[in-house]
């Protein structure tokens, strides 16, 4: 075998090793990018799901002689008085004998990004 042929064969071996190293680094970079970005994507999915379910969250009120009661569709209820208190995910208080005021995290689905 002539020296020129040997030199070309040797260069092909180095070139294939170099290509394999570049491919391995590329694959590792792609896996690292997915591993880093997945929690952020999952957080965005969870936020959208939670805010959408909060849009369906309803608070109801019952007024009796002994006072007002707030209740939610998931079975949580609480008596109301002049001090704000938690009713499920919402905060509510009795303003006067026939009026209650409440605030929930979201009354409509959120499409914030």
Q: What is the pLDDT of residues 40-74, one digit of tens each?
A: 888 877 777 766 666 667 788 888 887 788 888 77
Most confident of 10-14, 72-76, 104-108: 72-76
- What is the reported pLDDT for 54? 65
Q: Which residues contact 9 (CB under 8 A, 6 or more apart)?
A: none
Query: Cα 88–90–92 angle (5° rounding)?
Result: 110
Instruction: Kindly report the length of the chain.
Output: 113
- What is the reported pLDDT for 31? 94
Contact in structure between 105 and 54 (CB atoms under 8 Å): yes
Q: What is the pTM of this model?
A: 0.45
Of the candidates 55, 56, 78, which has an alpha carbon nearest to the alpha carbon of residue 67? 78
């Amino acid at each position: 075998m002539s020296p020129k042929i040997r030199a070309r064969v040797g260069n092909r071996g180095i070139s294939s090793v170099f290509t394999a190293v570049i491919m391995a680094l590329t694959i590792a970079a792609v896996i690292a990018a997915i591993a880093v970005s997945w929690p952020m994507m999952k957080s965005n999915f969870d936020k959208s799901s939670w805010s959408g379910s909060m849009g369906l969250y309803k608070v109801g009120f019952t007024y009796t002689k002994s006072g007002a009661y707030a209740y939610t569709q998931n079975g949580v209820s609480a008596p109301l008085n002049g001090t704000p208190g938690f009713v499920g995910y919402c905060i509510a208080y009795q303003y006067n004998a026939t009026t209650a005021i409440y605030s929930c995290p979201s009354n409509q689905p959120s499409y914030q990004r």
